[in-house]
Chain A
Amino acid sequence: MAAINCAKCGRSLTPEQASAPCPACGSKDRRSSCSDKAVGTESALKEEVRKRLARAHYTYEPSITEIFTICSNPAYEALSSEPIKLLEVNSNTIPSGIMPLGFDPAPASGIPFSSVIIEVTPDELEKIRRQELKLPDGWYLGALVPRDDDPENGNQ
């Protein structure tokens, strides 16, 4: 089982705790990504594609303020068949709850993995953090994908 840690106090969290404020310090920031514990070239590629895809969404839609990875069981995350999952926080979207959109891989475009995009409003993100809105299938909120390579820009 890969660890998810609170970015502020370092406490190790279960997947259920990861979506809620840290029981020790209340912080909602996490230090983990879906695959940073996984090993192998494919996992590295998946992480690279995840970041590239997220950054493309930031670029093409400026009203997206944050993009988070969504993680499932780490054993599944290492599989190439497990989609890349992103939660996009968009202040201009229509609030509609958790509605994942699935996309097929597009290897010719450098996206060899299937992907899932969930778009939510900032209010809905807070509801996810308070666990008033549930992510499906045991998924939980992972790390923030920063808008660019600036480590000060939300890189956790």
Chain B
Amino acid sequence: MPTSQEWGRAFAKQARADFDTWNALQLYVKLPPEARPLPRCQKLHFLQMACEKLAKAHLLKGGSRVSDLKQSHAYIAKHLPTIVRQQMIQEGENERVANSIRDQCKRLAREIELLSPSVDDGSRREDNCEYPWVHGAALYVPAEWAFANLNLLTEPNGRNILKRIRQAIEHLAG
């Protein structure tokens, strides 16, 4: 039977695959001119999966059983800020930068968690990156949704947070 440590590393490796795919779709994949651009929801789906697996990897390393973690997708908002904080401590990030990132990291973590269709903030936030949803009388499609709350990802602090997420994944995946 694999140990918790081995499960943790396995989840981190899969988180790395998801993160690499997000990065490739975001930066490197060039489609032919006649192709429709990739919707933002498809890219963000990989970021959501990477962050969820990273949180689960640290929980497994902390002793959680893999069977306990199958029930929920809601681990990112709670744990990603702690993981990013620990990563910043390890990397010796200066206090001023850490302070400027902290609150944005919490907001970003919550928004990333809400990308999962099973997390909807008590039906207040049904926008997600996988399935169409109804709000009021209108029907919305993830492929046509802007996900404006995640524009922070492209700002300097957002990029710094993504860098810390990447470092945390690499550190754990080995």
**Partner-B contacts on A (CB < 8 A):** 53, 56-57, 59-61, 88, 92-94, 96, 99-104, 106, 109, 111, 115-119, 136-137
Chain B residues within 8 Å of A116, by CB = 62-63
Chain B residues within 8 Å of A93, by CB = 78
Smallest CB separation, B68 vs chain A (Å): 9
Given A101-B61, A102-B58, A103-B58, A56–B89 Cβ distance below 8 Å? yes
Given A53-B89, A60-B98, A60-B102, A103–B78 Cβ distance below 8 Å? no
CA distance A137 to B171 in the complex (A): 25
Chain B residues within 8 Å of A109, by CB = 89-92
Q: At the interface, is chain B mostly helix, strand, loop or mixed?
A: helix
The listed residue (B59, B89, B106) touching A100 by CB distance below 8 A is B59
Chain A residues within 8 Å of B99, by CB = 60
Give the size range of B's interface with the partner. 20 to 34
Q: List, sorted by A's number, 7 A–B pairs whose CB atoms are closer than 8 Å.
A: A60-B98, A99-B79, A100-B62, A101-B58, A103-B86, A117-B62, A119-B82
The chain A residue sitting closest to B91, CB to CB, is A109
Tell me the residues in window 118-142 of chain B with beta carbons closer than 8 Å to chain A beta carbons: none
Smallest CB separation, A91 vs chain B (Å): 13
Chain B residues within 8 Å of A104, by CB = 61, 171-172
CA distance A93 to B80 in the complex (A): 11
Pairs A-B, 9 closest by C-beta atoms: A102-B61, A100-B62, A102-B62, A101-B58, A109-B90, A106-B90, A56-B89, A94-B78, A60-B98
Tell me the residues in window 78-101 of chain B with beta carbons closer than 8 Å to chain A beta carbons: 78-79, 81-83, 85-86, 88-92, 95, 98-99
The chain B residue sitting closest to A53, CB to CB, is B89
The listed residue (B62, B88, B95) touching A101 by CB distance below 8 A is B62
Tell whether B44 is near chain A: CB-to-CB under 8 Å.
no
Smallest CB separation, A60 vs chain B (Å): 5
Chain A residues within 8 Å of B90, by CB = 106, 109, 111
CA distance A101 to B82 in the complex (A): 9
Given A59-B95, A116-B62, A101–B85 Cβ distance below 8 Å? no
